[in-house]
C-alpha cells in the first residue's frame, strides 16, 4: 500500500484491539431514553451501563453530507469541501450527487491506511465511488439495487473496493420484495387494513428496511470474516423513517388525520428497536476487546417542536443535539460526556487507535469517556507522506450511477428535480453550496469570511430571505449595526422567517442603545410566538443586560420549559442567579450549560465566578483558566483569572498575568 508511515501506532495495554464506529443518522436521546427505560432497547442500554454516553452537539448547517464528512475528518465544511447533497458536474452541464472525490482532505480510513491499519467502511454518506483504502470500502450507492421499473439492478460501478469483492458482497443486497408481512407488522401492526387504502406508505417501509438490512448484512459479513483495526458502518434508517413517519408519532399532530395516526404511530418506535436489534449482532461480533462507539450527526424533533409537515423542508425537522454512547476496551465505565460535539469524534477515534490527532482538527479528545492518554498532536495529517487511499482529483464518476443516486435524493425530498435548463441547475447548485459554506463559516464565528461569501453569491440566493438573514447575522457578529439595520429594514421576510427577522432587528435596536423599545418588541414576539424557546432566551438576555434579573429568570425558565437542553437558556439562568447572589443555583445551571456546549468562554467565566462566591477557589481557578484558553484575548476573562489566582493564594501567578495584561495594552 505504499510508503511506510511516518506516524506509527502506539502500543499499550490500555488500547483496544480495534474500534467500531456505528453511525445512526438522526438518532436522538429524547426518543431513546423512554425506550431504554421500558426495556425496549436492551443492546444500547447495556452499552450505556458498561461505558460512557451523552449528547453530541452538531454543527450548522445541519445537512447530512456535510456532517458525516465532518465526523469522518474532524474538520468543518470549509476544510473538507463537501457543501451539500449535490454539486456541479466537473466537466459538463448539470449536477451530480456529492461524491467521495468532493472531499479535499483525509478521512479516518485514509489516515489509518497511511498508518498501516486496515479498515472496513460500509455505507458512509458521500463515500461513492469507494476509495482504494487498506481494507474494504462499500459506498453509499451499493444498496441501490432497484431500478425505476422495479427490476434488480447490477451492483453500481465503483461502489466496492477492492473490485474483486463485488460478486461476494452482491448476494447480501436485500430486495424490498423479499420482505414479507412479518417484517412490516412491527412497524405497522394494522398493515392488513392499511394496504387496502389508496396512497398507503407500506412500500416505503419495505424500501427503507431493505436499505438498512443491506448495509447491516454487508457490515456483519465483513467484520465477522476479515481481520480489521477499524470499521465504520452508517445506518440511514432512523433519519429516513423520521422524514416519512415522525409526523405520525404520538402525540397526534393537529394536521394528521386520526386514520393516518392510527396506521403509522408505531413506525418510529419500531425503527429504533430495529436498530437496537442490529446493534446486538454488531456487539457480539466485535467482542470485548473492541471499543464500540454508537453516535448520530444530529437529533430529530419529536415533540411539540415538530414543524408543520405540509410546509417544512427535511432540514427543519433536525434537532441540533445528537447522541453518543461507547463501551469496550479503552472506554471509561460510568463516564458522562461533557459538551461533546461531532468535531470530537475523529480525534477520539485516532487516540483509541494509538495515533495522534492533528492541530488542524478543531475538536478535542473526549478524555472523560476514554481511558487512553492523549498523544501529542501533529501539525496535520495532510502533510504526512505516503499512500492514503484517496482518489486522484481526475477520477470520473459514472454518469448513469450518478443519475440513479440523484433520483434517490429527489425521492427523499432533499433536492428538487432538475429543470430542463441544465446550466441554470448548475448555477443554482453552486450558489446553494456556497450559501451552505457561508452558513458553516458563520457557525464557526468566521463572520468576515461568511459575509464575503454571501456578498459574492448569485443575486437569486444573496437577495432571497435566507441570504439576507444570514448577511444580517454576520453584520451583527461584526457589530456593523448600521448595515445590519439597513439589511433588515429592506427585507420582506417569508412567513416562516418573521420571528427570526424580528429577533435580529430587536437585537440591533438593543445594541444601538434603544433597550426599552427592543425589549418591548421581543416581549410582543414572545406573546405571539410563545412556543419559540429562542425568543424567550433573547428576552431573558436583554433583561439581564439592563439589570432586571428576576424578570429575566421568568423569561429564561419559560425558554427552558420549551427546550430543556437549551445551553443558552441555562447560561442565562446561571447569569441571573449570579446577579441575585445565588451562587449554588448559578453553578448548577452553568455546569449544565457547559455539559451541552463545551466551547463557551462566557459560561466558564460564570462557573468560575460561582465557585469563587462559594469559596471553592481552586475550582474557580480551573474554570477561569479554561475560559482564558477558549478566549485568550478576552480582557474580562484574563482579569477574572487574576482575581481567582489571588483568592486561591497564588499571588505570583496573579502578578505575572497582571503584568502580561498591562504589557499587551
* pLDDT score at 110: 98
| Whether domain 598-665 has CATH 1.25.40 | yes
Q: Is the predicted pLDDT of residue 437 greater than 60, yes or no?
A: yes
Asked whether 497 and 473 are in contact (CB, 8 A), the reply is no
DSSP 389: -
- Is the overall model pTM greater than 0.75, yes or no? yes
Q: Is the predicted pLDDT of residue 323 greater than 90, yes or no?
A: yes
Q: What is the mean pLDDT of residues 360-374?
A: 94
* pLDDT score at 647: 97
* pLDDT score at 372: 92
Q: Is the predicted pLDDT of residue 358 greater than 60, yes or no?
A: yes
- Band (pLDDT 50/70/90 cuts) for residue 120 is very high
User: Rounded to an integer, what distance in angstroms lies between the CA atom of residue 127 and that of residue 221?
Assistant: 19
pLDDT digits (tens, 9 = 90+) for 538-562: 999 999 999 999 999 999 999 999 9
What sign results for the dihedral spanned by CA atoms 492, 495, 497, 498?
positive
- pLDDT, averaged across the chain: 94
* pLDDT score at 3: 44
* pLDDT score at 1: 45
| Residue corresponding to grid cell 489571588 | 646
- Band (pLDDT 50/70/90 cuts) for residue 208 is very high
Pair type for strands 135-138 and 119-122: parallel
* pLDDT score at 665: 75
DSSP 186-255: TT-TTHHHHTTSTT-SHHHHHHHHHHHHHHHHHHHHHHHHS--SEEEEEE-HHHHHHHHHGGGSSSPPTT
SS3 category, 122: strand
Which set of grid coordinates corresponds to residue 189?
Answer: 401492526
Asked whether 123 and 236 are in contact (CB, 8 A), the reply is yes
* pLDDT score at 410: 77
pLDDT digits (tens, 9 = 90+) for 340-351: 999 999 999 999
User: Rounded to an integer, what distance in angstroms lies between the CA atom of residue 436 and that of residue 432?
Assistant: 6
Domain locations along the chain: 18-338+359-406, 598-665
- Band (pLDDT 50/70/90 cuts) for residue 401 is low
Q: What is the mean pLDDT of residues 494-522?
A: 95
pLDDT digits (tens, 9 = 90+) for 4-39: 445 777 777 789 999 999 999 999 999 999 999 999
Q: Is the predicted pLDDT of residue 405 greater than 90, yes or no?
A: no
Question: Among 58-62, 93-97, 220-224, 263-267, which stretch is predicted with the lowest mean pLDDT?
Answer: 93-97
- Band (pLDDT 50/70/90 cuts) for residue 149 is low
- Band (pLDDT 50/70/90 cuts) for residue 415 is confident
How far is CA 289 from each of CA 13, 16, 137, 141, 181, rounded to the nearest angstrom?
11, 6, 23, 31, 38
pLDDT digits (tens, 9 = 90+) for 259-279: 999 999 999 999 999 999 999
* pLDDT score at 495: 83
Burial class (CB in 10 A: 0-12, 13-18, 19+), 580: middle
Q: What is the mean pLDDT of residues 640-662?
A: 96
Helices 635-647 and 601-613 sit at what angle, rounded to 10 degrees?
Answer: 30
SS3 category, 65: helix
| Residue corresponding to grid cell 465503483 | 158
Q: Is the predicted pLDDT of residue 604 greater than 80, yes or no?
A: yes
CATH T-level assignment (fold) for domain 18-338+359-406:
Alkaline Phosphatase, subunit A (3.40.720)
Question: Among 89-98, 288-297, 634-643, which stretch is predicted with the lowest mean pLDDT?
Answer: 89-98
Question: Among 160-169, 190-199, 363-372, 400-409, which stretch is predicted with the lowest mean pLDDT?
Answer: 400-409
* pLDDT score at 5: 47
* pLDDT score at 396: 63
Asked whether 191 and 202 are in contact (CB, 8 A), the reply is yes
Are domains 18-338+359-406 and 598-665 of this chain identical in fold? no
Asked whether 594 and 602 are in contact (CB, 8 A), the reply is no
User: Rounded to an integer, what distance in angstroms lies between the CA atom of residue 206 and that of residue 174?
Assistant: 10
Q: What percent of the chain stands above pLDDT 90? A: 87
SS3 category, 11: coil
Asked whether 44 and 296 are in contact (CB, 8 A), the reply is no
- Band (pLDDT 50/70/90 cuts) for residue 602 is very high
pLDDT digits (tens, 9 = 90+) for 476-495: 999 999 999 999 999 988 88
Q: Is the predicted pLDDT of residue 637 greater than 60, yes or no?
A: yes
Amino acid at each position: 500500500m505504499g510508503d511506510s508511515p511516518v506516524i506509527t501506532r502506539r502500543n499499550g495495554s490500555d488500547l483496544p484491539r480495534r474500534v467500531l464506529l456505528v453511525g445512526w443518522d438522526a438518532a436522538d436521546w429524547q426518543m431513546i431514553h423512554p425506550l431504554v427505560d421500558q426495556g425496549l432497547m436492551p443492546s444500547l442500554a447495556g452499552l450505556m451501563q458498561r461505558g460512557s454516553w451523552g449528547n453530541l452537539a452538531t454543527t450548522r448547517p445541519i445537512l447530512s453530507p456535510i456532517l458525516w464528512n465532518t465526523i469522518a475528518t474532524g474538520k468543518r465544511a470549509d476544510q473538507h469541501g463537501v457543501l451539500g447533497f449535490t454539486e456541479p458536474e466537473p466537466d459538463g452541464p448539470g449536477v451530480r450527487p456529492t461524491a467521495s472525490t468532493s472531499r479535499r482532505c483525509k478521512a479516518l480510513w485514509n489516515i489509518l491506511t497511511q498508518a498501516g491499519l486496515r479498515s472496513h467502511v460500509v455505507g458512509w454518506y458521500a463515500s461513492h465511488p469507494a476509495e482504494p483504502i487498506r481494507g474494504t470500502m462499500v459506498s453509499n450507492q451499493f444498496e441501490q439495487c432497484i431500478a425505476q421499473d422495479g427490476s434488480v439492478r447490477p451492483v453500481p460501478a465503483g461502489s466496492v473496493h477492492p473490485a474483486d469483492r463485488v460478486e461476494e458482497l452482491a448476494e447480501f443486497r436485500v430486495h424490498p420484495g423479499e420482505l414479507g408481512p412479518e417484517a412490516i407488522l412491527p412497524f405497522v401492526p394494522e398493515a392488513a387494513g392499511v394496504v387496502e387504502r389508496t396512497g398507503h406508505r407500506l412500500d416505503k417501509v419495505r424500501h427503507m428496511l431493505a436499505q438498512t438490512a443491506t448495509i447491516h448484512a454487508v457490515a456483519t459479513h465483513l467484520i465477522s470474516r476479515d481481520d480489521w483495526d477499524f470499521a465504520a458502518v452508517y445506518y440511514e434508517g432512523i433519519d429516513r423513517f423520521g422524514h416519512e413517519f415522525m409526523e405520525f408519532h404520538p402525540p397526534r399532530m393537529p394536521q394528521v388525520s386520526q386514520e393516518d395516526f392510527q396506521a403509522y404511530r408505531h413506525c418510529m418506535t419500531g425503527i429504533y428497536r430495529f436498530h437496537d436489534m442490529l446493534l446486538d449482532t454488531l456487539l457480539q461480533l466485535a467482542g470485548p476487546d473492541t471499543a464500540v462507539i454508537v453516535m448520530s450527526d444530529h437529533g430529530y424533533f419529536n415533540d411539540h417542536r415538530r414543524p408543520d409537515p405540509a410546509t417544512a423542508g427535511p432540514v427543519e425537522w433536525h434537532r441540533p443535539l445528537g447522541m453518543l454512547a461507547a463501551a469496550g476496551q479503552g472506554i471509561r465505565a460510568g463516564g458522562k460526556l461533557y459538551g461533546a460535539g461531532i468535531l470530537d469524534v475523529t480525534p477520539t477515534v485516532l487516540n483509541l487507535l494509538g495515533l495522534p490527532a492533528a492541530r488542524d482538527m478543531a475538536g478535542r479528545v473526549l478524555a472523560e469517556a476514554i481511558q487512553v492518554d492523549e498523544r501529542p498532536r501533529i501539525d496535520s495529517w495532510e502533510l504526512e507522506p505516503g499512500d492514503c487511499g484517496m482518489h486522484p482529483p481526475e477520477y470520473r464518476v459514472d454518469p448513469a450511477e450518478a443519475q440513479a443516486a440523484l433520483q434517490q435524493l429527489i425521492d427523499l425530498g432533499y433536492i428538487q428535480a432538475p429543470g430542463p435548463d441544465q446550466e441554470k441547475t448548475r448555477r443554482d447548485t453552486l450558489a446553494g453550496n456556497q450559501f451552505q459554506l457561508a452558513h458553516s463559516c458563520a457557525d464557526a464565528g468566521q463572520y468576515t469570511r461568511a459575509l464575503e461569501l454571501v456578498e459574492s453569491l448569485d443575486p437569486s440566493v444573496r437577495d432571497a430571505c435566507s441570504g439576507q438573514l444570514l448577511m444580517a447575522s454576520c453584520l451583527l457578529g461584526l457589530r456593523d449595526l448600521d448595515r445590519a439595520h439597513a439589511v433588515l429594514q429592506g427585507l420582506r421576510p417569508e412567513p416562516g422567517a418573521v420571528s427570526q427577522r424580528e429577533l435580529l432587528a430587536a437585537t440591533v435596536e438593543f445594541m444601538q442603545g434603544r433597550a426599552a423599545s427592543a425589549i418591548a418588541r421581543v416581549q410582543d414576539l414572545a406573546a405571539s410566538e410563545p412556543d419559540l424557546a429562542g425568543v424567550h432566551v433573547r428576552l431573558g438576555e436583554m433583561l439581564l443586560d439592563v439589570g432586571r434579573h428576576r424578570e429575566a429568570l421568568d423569561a429564561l425558565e419559560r425558554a427552558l420549559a420549551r427546550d430543556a437542553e437549551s445551553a443558552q437558556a441555562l447560561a442565562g439562568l446561571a447569569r441571573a442567579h449570579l446577579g441575585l447572589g445565588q451562587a449554588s443555583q448559578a453553578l448548577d445551571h452553568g455546569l449544565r450549560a457547559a455539559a451541552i456546549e463545551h466551547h463557551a468562554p462566557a459560561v466558564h467565566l460564570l462557573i468560575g465566578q460561582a465557585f469563587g462566591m462559594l469559596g471553592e477557589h481552586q475550582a474557580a481557578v480551573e474554570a477561569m483558566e479554561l475560559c482564558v484558553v477558549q478566549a485568550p484575548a478576552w480582557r474580562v476573562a484574563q482579569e477574572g483569572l487574576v482575581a481567582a489566582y489571588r483568592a486561591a493564594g497564588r499571588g505570583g501567578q496573579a502578578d505575572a498575568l497582571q503584568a502580561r495584561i498591562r504589557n499587551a495594552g
